Amino acid sequence: MSSEQAVYSEQQGEVVTLTLNRPDRLNALDHEMAGVLLSAIEDIARTPSARVLVLRGEGKSFCAGGDVAAMQAHSNELPAFIEKTITPFHACILALQRLPMPVVACAHGALAGGGFSLAMACDFVVATRSARFVVAYPKLGAPADGGLSFFLVQRLGAARGLEALTTKGQFDAETALRLGLVNRVVDDDRLAQETNQWVAEMLALPPQSLRELKTLVAVQSSTALQAHLQREKEAFLRCAATPDFAARVAAFTQKRQPRN
């Protein structure tokens, strides 16, 4: 396991843990990281001994979404550059849904944009009390990606889902629990322990039962999610081609630059 890996995988018994490992960027996603994550998920799907997947982030946050600094560095080709990230990222979302095992997200710190989407693509979410879930996309003049507009409408209904995607786009952990976006909220220093305990409870179930139940639940929305991800991608790329989007990316990056 190298500290230079953008995503690393560890297996202990029947549990595989995938860790997003760009802590200096709050685990922000670029096309390389999305590709590595996709390969890791595909490897796990081919691992017969794996029965539960835990997805976590190294450092201060689970995942801060797309790498806006990388977008700004490719400002002369924004739609093409963003498509290079969205394509493998959306493949990750589908791959998580199609895994023959439950996926548990360990949510801490900021989960913004694509990070929020990634957590919602998991079967279960355990969140620390200090976790924050932020839609973020409208600040860049974009819609959504990673299935977030699918998952929020699926869980909240059309009216509240649209409200969450627009004017009510930030939730603390307790609000997310009340709305059904996360399964459990735990003290910050007990995230790993509480997750491990829940995983142990799952592993106590008969393997064939757990596997079939995950598949039965996921298949209900898999086809609709795949079609919706394509619509999200097309909508995002239309927005990425506008001058307003480029200006917002530049302004966001400037705001994040450290002051001398």
217-245 pLDDT, tens digit per residue, is 999 999 999 999 999 999 999 999 999 99
pLDDT computed for residue 258 by the predictor: 43
Domains of the chain, start order: 7-189 (3.90.226.10)
Whether 35 has a pLDDT exceeding 80, the answer reads yes
Choose between 73 and 3: higher pLDDT: 73
Q: Please give the mean pLDDT across all residues of the chain.
A: 95
- SS3 state of residue 203: helix
Helix (H) or strand (E) holding 113: none
Whether 1 has a pLDDT exceeding 70, the answer reads no
Q: Give 49-101 as a DSSP string.
A: T--EEEEEESTT-SB--B-HHHHHHTGGGHHHHHHHHHHHHHHHHHHHHH-SS
Cα gap 253→5, rounded to integer Å: 24
Whether 143 has a pLDDT exceeding 50, the answer reads yes
